[in-house]
Chain A
Amino acid sequence: MKSLLNAWSWLFLVLILGFFEIYAQTQTGNTFLFRIYNIQSISVAASQILLLALGLTLVIVAGHIDLSIAFTTGFAAVAMALVIRFVGPEAGWFTVILAMGVGLLAAIIVGLVNGWLVAQLNVPSFIGTLGTYGIARGAALIVAGGATVSIRSDEARVLGNGHILGIPIPVVAAVVLAIICHYVLTHTRFGVHTYALGASRASVERAGVDVKRHLVYLFVISAITAGVGGLIYTSRFSAGAANAGEPILLYAVAAVFIGGASLTGGQGTIIGTVIGAFIIAVIQFGLVFCGLPPYWQFVAVGLVIIVAVLVDQSKGRLVGGST
């Protein structure tokens, strides 16, 4: 059934790609799909969404949510930029790597706070991470002095805009993290316990698993992938912005649900989330490609989310599922 759901998302992705290809051929006589530039742009957009969505997938499979990632990304971006700026324009590789370490640490702190709130204090994750969403936002703006922290570092720019074997480095980073998250979710005990936690907390507790520790790990993983998103943002744009992740939160949540996850937890896959992220990126890029004002992408993504939920529900009805 999981595979059926992925089949739906695959089909949908193929359909919208087909739609834009036909549109391009008939309206402009050009190809949409078979241009390196288009593929790269879509991949970079998808990888931006993915970095927030990957860790989020694990959290959602466990039956929780992490809204704070929007500003975990920004907090990490600003922290990295501040370290580089502090050292100055001569900052070499060592500084950039140190700055990235500090950025990740900033993200991990947010994850630890989330984990502590949800696991130890039993705060519902929606409320708890909404709280840290605000706190991380404030913290990022405060340390950035309310503005964007611009940096001058060739090393960082190479990281953000360079290529490995012709593939943009942000895409490589997202692919590597996606493979790791996929491995963790489908091939490790941690992954099984994450699915089981989403279905029945009692099942995991009685199996002798330390559920509280597990929850903390989940929120830290979510913070790390979102934090990497922030590091890449700072590297790409040579600036750390507190709101680097804010516009992506909706897309990240959407990608996870389009990919087959359910609000009640217990289902969802990394492959599904990857497809979900690509669906959104294709819509974003495709609508602009068609010459529509970019605001239409919000409407389109909103519609796709609703369709994804309807598919999820009808599937629940078909097999008498967990709803």
Chain B
Amino acid sequence: MTTILKVDGLKKRFGGNEAVSNVSFDVNEGECVVLAGDNGAGKSTVIKMISGVYQPTAGQVHFNDTVLTGKSPEAVRSLGIETIYQDLALADNLDPGLNLYLGREKTRRILGISFLDRKEMQRNAVEVMKSLGIVVPDPSAPVREMSGGQRQAIAIARAIHWQAKLVIMDEPTAALGVPEQREVMALIERLKKKGVGIILISHNLPDIFAAADRIIVLARGVVAGERKPSETNDEEIVRMMMGATL
């Protein structure tokens, strides 16, 4: 297995508050790494330092052979790291195609004038969604009319369509009902099969054990431990989250 992401000694200070003190871990191709930890443990801060939203106070992130540290969110994205935030950042009033292509829309020329190619974008969106096992009932309807799981799928489809090699998800199931949570877990399985590396943040123990190849527990800004799901259990993970050391 090849390592695609190397997180090395990340530290982040906000004023006097050290949100992340020392976090290191790797992510391999086609692997799902779960970041677990109590509220305020520093999970979101870590992934924001990967996606370029925050710059670390110390430490570095390597993606394949590139140093990510110092790059803007757009630059990180264009290298193939897609971050799906909890609010999804979809434009609810637009169809799945336009959401898939937002910022990189397809156009075609008619008599020298450029027009959006809505049909083509819709077709491609339907196709990518199909590869995720999701049928889009009406490709021209705004995504507001879709279920929470389907909307999550659009965000994931965006990652697949633009050939992300690493997908970061911050609590993707937090706002969803039980059937939709299952949908999202199935989507994560399909992403893994495509060889995409995944960093998943979750509070939900069953989800963590279902999705993870490795579980990294953060407590108060440091890595409290790293386990394979087969070598641990709920109790131990919770104990590590609460701050008991290895």
Contacts and interface: CB of A to CB of B under 8 A. Distances in A.
A189 B107 CA distance: 8
Contact of A192 (B73, B105, B113): B105
B114 interface: yes
B130 interface: no
A203 interface: yes
Nearest to A188: B116
Contacts of B114: 187-188
Given A188-B116, A321-B144, A195 B103 contact: no
B85, B90, B102, B145 interface centre (most CB from chain A within 10 Å): B102
A203 B105 contact: no
A203 B107 contact: no
B26 interface: no
Contact of A203 (B91, B113, B116, B142): B91
A198 interface: yes
A266 B144 CA distance: 12
A105 interface: no
A1 B143 CA distance: 13
Given A198-B93, A199-B93, A202-B89, A207 B144 contact: no
B105 A200 contact: no
Contacts of A188: 107, 114-116
Given A208-B74, A208-B77, A319 B145 contact: yes
Interface string A171-200: 000000000000100111101110110111
Interface string B102-138: 1111010000011110000000000000000000000
B235 interface: no
A204 interface: yes
Given A188-B114, A188-B116, A189-B107, A204 B92 contact: no
Contact of B92 (A193, A205, A208, A322): A322
Nearest to B98: A192
B7 interface: no
A288 interface: no
Nearest to B104: A207
Given A199-B91, A199-B92, A208-B77, A322 B103 contact: no
B103 A204 contact: yes
B87 interface: yes
A204 B92 CA distance: 12
Interface string A279-323: 000000000000000000000000000000000000000010110
A200 B74 contact: no
B27 to A, nearest CB: 21
Interface in B76-106: 77, 85, 87, 89-94, 98-99, 102-105
A187 B116 contact: yes
Nearest to A262: B93
Nearest to A207: B103
Nearest to B145: A319
B91 A200 contact: yes
Nearest to B51: A206
Nearest to B87: A202
Contacts of A189: 105, 107, 116
6 contacts: A189-B116, A199-B93, A203-B91, A207-B103, A208-B74, A322-B144
Interface of B: 73-74, 77, 85, 87, 89-94, 98-99, 102-105, 107, 113-116, 142, 144-145
Complex A-B, nearest 8 residue pairs according to Cβ-Cβ distance, in ascending order: A207-B103, A196-B91, A207-B102, A266-B93, A203-B91, A202-B89, A199-B91, A199-B93
